[in-house]
């Protein structure tokens, strides 16, 4: 199947061909004809599946050519990074058309965005809060919107955007096409879809366990206070040149990034408290291999488009198993392979069991390699002194046996035997 046979016009096919896409991904195969037909769509698909082109290409085709100043397509995304990336994709895919795309999001000054909106656009990509601010100031109007897209709807609800979405909806014309993308389906998502969509085409191309299949997933059992030492060891001994590391909190991301830096590993943190400029810079440094480790929180990492990321580390496990799938979806994109490594402390074993259950396959716990307790990582004023069991400071620790998180493992509480064998 080619892009042409899906009904896309030559100027759009030329743009994706130039981008190096040889054939449509499964979500594109299903979504492009559905969107072209004018139907509402509810798609279960996560970042990494090619969903952006799945809705942007037919959108460009339906909008056809520049018209007026008010946007005729509105794409809402949960994060600034995703908004920026979707807009970038829309500009690229639309490069052989005269359609204009603008993007607005919070965290940067409003003035330039107001000016951009006044100059007009056909497609507007926005995060909900900033969009409402700007519309309420009269910078633009949504009454010409014919196509409305909710991207990563599940994440929007997680981030508390439901009221903003409802408000935006009241500003849209009644007659319009609605597209909703969500990586997961909860009751809230089904309710939202029920309210928003009319007789939608349902598309489900990437159940979590399918996307996760391409990624080699392993785990190490390691006490919390040893995680940073093991991580530094893995990065340095494996000569990793690009690793995305997830922490649970912004503070944790900053601290780990500083610690790695002190251990001689070039690193940067990316999270919601950082300015947009700082986040963009960190991402660019990472893509250009100027930094080795990018430490991110879940939300900040949503929508990051980093090609062929070789390593993703779950420094702390997410308590929502679906988030694990989102995280590891950062690696092994578009056909390449990657490795996802989880550092599992005893209190996190229950999270790991939930993840294994969702995936429907076990994640092997590898024997923990011998690693040094690095002075640079120990010297960290706010933390209580390290008390390694079975290891002296600077002396390394004995290796642990691996094991399994799958069936047979007890639910809840700390692992009865931290070094189970086999599985």
Q: Which residues bind ligand AMP (CB under 6 A)?
A: 21, 24-25, 28, 47-53, 305, 307, 333-334
Q: Do residues 103 and 125 touch, judged by C-beta distance below 8 A? A: yes
Least separation in angstroms between CB 293 and ligand AMP: 21
Answer positive or negative: Cα dihedral of 198, 204, 205, 210: positive
Q: Which is nearer to ligand AMP, 303 or 415 (CB)?
A: 303
Q: Which is nearer to ligand AMP, 46 or 113 (CB)?
A: 46
Least separation in angstroms between CB 287 and ligand AMP: 12
Cα gap 170→241, rounded to integer Å: 48
**Of the candidates 290, 334, 288, 336, which has an alpha carbon nearest to the alpha carbon of residue 311?**
336
Helix (H, G, I), strand (E, B) or coil at 244: strand
Q: Which is nearer to ligand AMP, 53 or 121 (CB)?
A: 53
Answer positive or negative: Cα dihedral of 246, 248, 249, 251: negative
Q: Which is nearer to ligand AMP, 28 or 342 (CB)?
A: 28
Least separation in angstroms between CB 89 and ligand AMP: 7
DSSP letter for 315, please.
S
**Of the candidates 358, 370, 280, 363, which has an alpha carbon nearest to the alpha carbon of residue 325?**
358
Q: Which is nearer to ligand AMP, 43 or 74 (CB)?
A: 43
Least separation in angstroms between CB 54 and ligand AMP: 7
369: number of Cβ within 10 Å: 15
**E strand or H helix at 87:** helix 80-93
Cα gap 44→368, rounded to integer Å: 37
Q: Which is nearer to ligand AMP, 167 or 214 (CB)?
A: 214
Q: Which is nearer to ligand AMP, 28 or 257 (CB)?
A: 28
Q: Which is nearer to ligand AMP, 220 or 246 (CB)?
A: 246
């Amino acid at each position: 199947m080619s892009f042409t046979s899906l009904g896309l016009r030559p100027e759009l096919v030329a743009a994706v061909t130039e981008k190096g896409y040889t054939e449509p991904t499964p979500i594109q195969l299903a979504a492009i004809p559905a969107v072209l037909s004018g139907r509402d769509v509810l798609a279960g698909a996560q970042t990494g599946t090619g969903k952006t082109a799945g809705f942007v290409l037919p959108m460009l085709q339906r909008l056809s050519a520049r018209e007026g100043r008010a946007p005729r397509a509105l794409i809402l995304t949960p994060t600034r990074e995703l908004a920026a990336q979707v807009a970038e994709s829309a500009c690229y895919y639309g490069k052989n058309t005269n359609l204009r795309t603008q993007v607005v999001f919070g965290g940067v000054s409003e003035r330039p965005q107001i000016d951009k909106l006044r100059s007009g656009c056909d497609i507007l990509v926005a995060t909900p809060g900033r969009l409402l601010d700007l519309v309420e100031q009269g910078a633009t109007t949504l009454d010409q919107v014919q196509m409305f897209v909710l991207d990563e709807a599940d994440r929007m609800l997680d981030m508390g955007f439901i009221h903003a979405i409802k408000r935006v909806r009241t500003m849209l014309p009644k007659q319009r096409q609605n597209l909703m993308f969500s990586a997961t389906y909860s009751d809230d998502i089904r309710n939202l879809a029920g309210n928003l969509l009319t007789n939608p085409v349902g598309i489900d191309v990437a159940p979590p366990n399918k996307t996760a299949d391409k990624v080699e997933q392993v785990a190490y059992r390691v006490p919390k206070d040893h995680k940073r030492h093991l991580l530094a060891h893995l990065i340095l001994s494996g000569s990793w040149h690009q690793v995305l590391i997830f922490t649970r909190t912004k503070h944790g991301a900053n601290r780990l990034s500083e610690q790695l830096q002190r251990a001689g590993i070039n690193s940067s943190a990316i999270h919601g408290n950082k300015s947009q400029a700082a986040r963009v810079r960190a991402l660019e440094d990472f893509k250009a291999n100027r930094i080795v480790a990018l430490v991110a929180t879940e939300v900040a990492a949503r929508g990051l488009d980093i090609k062929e990321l070789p390593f993703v580390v779950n420094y702390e496990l997410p308590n929502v198993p679906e988030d694990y799938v989102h995280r590891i979806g950062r690696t092994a994109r578009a056909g390449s392979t990657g490795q996802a490594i989880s550092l599992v402390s005893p209190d996190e074993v229950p999270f790991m069991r939930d993840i294994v259950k969702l995936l429907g396959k076990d994640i092997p716990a590898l024997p923990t390699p011998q690693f040094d307790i690095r002075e640079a990582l120990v010297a960290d004023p706010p933390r209580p002194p390290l008390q390694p069991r079975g290891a002296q400071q600077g002396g390394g620790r004995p290796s642990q046996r691996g094991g399994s998180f799958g069936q047979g493992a007890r639910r809840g509480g700390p692992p009865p035997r931290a070094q189970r064998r086999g599985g």
